[in-house]
A and B are shown apart, each in its own frame.
Chain A
């Protein structure tokens, strides 16, 4: 198993670490981190800088009541937000996934966190339908292809899992904003390079690189389209094949 070759630009890792990145793009970054030990180190360092800045933060006194009422809350039972009940505790690559996951393309049963929980939540609402049971779009290029809307972020932001058969033509990037593609299985290529599992590819809305899935295995990727990323200017246009150390 090789580690990813294409990484998020550092500005995005900083935005992820300081908390200013929106949820859809943060989901892409966190999933990349699950594949990429080198970027995990980068984020750990950026968070350590956040910790050091907290240490030198001004002291803004809290009211006396704050500690008192907090101490009174310590014994309250925790009401932590939890994963969707039906799918909690699903292990990746398990031989017998619970009903509803059985027909999934294999790569989707092996996703790392946090993406797996997002997928499970989405499938709990809208069960998976194999592509051959859905109304097929016209055109041979879509045969066998599928997509799952994860419903993360407010429209027009879109967060989708997309599958393209080996050798198939990839959907065109959305014109509304920057596209972040994170490859989860198989691979695809365009004139800039070949992208495999864990690689993060940024596509400008105006540019169409006509990417195609590699022959053989189905290509599965997470695709976030976010217009605000373009406006905030945090994304650099070039691909980032190196982790800066």
Chain B
């Protein structure tokens, strides 16, 4: 969780946020509530803030490295990929839209795509939300901005509350890129059971995402 990461809650972020959020006024005590990953990405987008970027790096780089190594990337290449992912965060920060996704989710998708590109040497087909040929939403999507910070916290709490077997399968699927059939073979669990446990886990998390939005 965010609070347990000393680098993130540290002086660096405080200083950044003070400078970014209150440039014209005297420093105040309001800083802690602004410690939001989304705000850091927005600070990079709007002001090219290197301090905000360094704070994002200290939060995400160790997580990204761990994620990439789980997916079988060697430590050296994992660090290179972490750099590439964060460089993309820097360059594409202005495309970050907190009404569409959280900073965690946005950076997860960048890391996923970068790995596909670098390791599998494939392109990643993605929709283009600005494409005029895209079939639009029947009604404009609900503005999820206010939910942004809470959403991740709620999801993390829900993942923590999942039965162990479901949570483990979920992590295997996302974080080891293991196809369902391989999970089934490795764990000696029938394929149908793998699928139904994953479904249960996803159902539970989805219901949660839909609540209160």
Query: Which residues of A are at the interface with B, using a C-beta cutoff of 8 A?
Result: 1, 3, 10-11, 14-15, 18-20, 22-23, 26-27, 29-31, 33-37, 40-41, 44-63, 66-67, 69-71, 73-74, 78, 80-81, 91-93, 110-116, 118, 198, 231-234, 244-245
Tell whether B152 is near chain A: CB-to-CB under 8 Å: yes
**B115 adjacent to A19 (CB under 8 Å):** yes
Question: Shortest CB–CB separation between residue A180 and chain B, in angstroms?
Answer: 13
Q: Which residues does chain A contribute within 8 Å of B197, judged by CB atoms?
A: none
**B102 adjacent to A14 (CB under 8 Å):** no
Question: How far does the alpha carbon of A112 sit from the alpha carbon of B112 in the complex, in Å?
Answer: 23
Q: Which residues does chain A contribute within 8 Å of B184, judged by CB atoms?
A: 233
Question: How far does the alpha carbon of A23 sit from the alpha carbon of B112 in the complex, in Å?
Answer: 13
Q: Which residues does chain B contribute within 8 Å of A232, judged by CB atoms?
A: 179-182
A51-B102, A51-B107, A91-B132 known; A23-B123 Cβ under 8 A: yes
Question: Shortest CB–CB separation between residue A37 and chain B, in angstroms?
Answer: 5
Q: Which residues does chain A contribute within 8 Å of B50, judged by CB atoms?
A: 71, 74
Question: How far does the alpha carbon of A61 sit from the alpha carbon of B65 in the complex, in Å?
Answer: 8
Q: Which residues does chain B contribute within 8 Å of A91, judged by CB atoms?
A: 132
Q: Which residues does chain B contribute within 8 Å of A233, judged by CB atoms?
A: 179-181, 184, 191
A54-B67, A54-B107 known; A34-B127 Cβ under 8 A: yes
A49-B174, A71-B54 known; A33-B127 Cβ under 8 A: yes
A60-B69, A62-B79 known; A70-B87 Cβ under 8 A: yes
Please report the total number of B residues contacting A with Cβ < 8 Å.
84
Interchain CB contact (< 8 A) of B133 among A29, A48, A67, A116: A116
Segment among B16-24, B26-34, B201-209 that sits at the interface with chain A: B201-209
**B180 adjacent to A34 (CB under 8 Å):** no
20 additional A-B pairs beyond A48-B101, A62-B65, A66-B83, beta carbons within 8 Å, are A14-B173, A19-B124, A23-B123, A23-B124, A34-B133, A37-B135, A37-B137, A44-B101, A49-B205, A51-B102, A51-B155, A52-B156, A53-B108, A54-B67, A54-B107, A56-B159, A56-B160, A60-B62, A60-B69, A91-B132
Q: Mark B103-123, 1 if CB is under 8 A from A, else 0.
A: 011111101110111000011
**B202 adjacent to A54 (CB under 8 Å):** no
Question: Shortest CB–CB separation between residue B145 and chain A, in angstroms?
Answer: 14
Interchain CB contact (< 8 A) of B138 among A37, A45, A48, A111: A37
**A231 adjacent to B181 (CB under 8 Å):** yes
A26-B125, A54-B108 known; A45-B132 Cβ under 8 A: no
**A113 adjacent to B131 (CB under 8 Å):** yes
Tell whether B212 is near chain A: CB-to-CB under 8 Å: no
Question: Shortest CB–CB separation between residue A18 and chain B, in angstroms?
Answer: 4
Interface centre among A30, A34, A49, A114 (most CB of B within 10 A): A49
Tell whether B136 is near chain A: CB-to-CB under 8 Å: yes
Question: How far does the alpha carbon of A78 sit from the alpha carbon of B181 in the complex, in Å?
Answer: 39
Q: Mark B132-161, 1 if CB is under 8 A from A, else 0.
A: 111111100100000000011001100110
A93-B133, A112-B131 known; A14-B105 Cβ under 8 A: no
Some 21 contacts from A to B, beta carbons below 8 A apart, are: A19-B113, A19-B116, A20-B173, A31-B125, A34-B127, A44-B100, A45-B205, A47-B105, A50-B174, A51-B108, A51-B109, A53-B159, A55-B152, A70-B83, A73-B83, A92-B133, A110-B133, A113-B127, A233-B181, A233-B191, A234-B181
Q: Which residues does chain A contribute within 8 Å of B170, judged by CB atoms?
A: 49, 53
Interface centre among A62, A110, A113 (most CB of B within 10 A): A62
A-B pairs with the 8 shortest C-beta distances? A51-B105, A51-B104, A52-B155, A112-B133, A59-B62, A60-B66, A113-B128, A19-B112
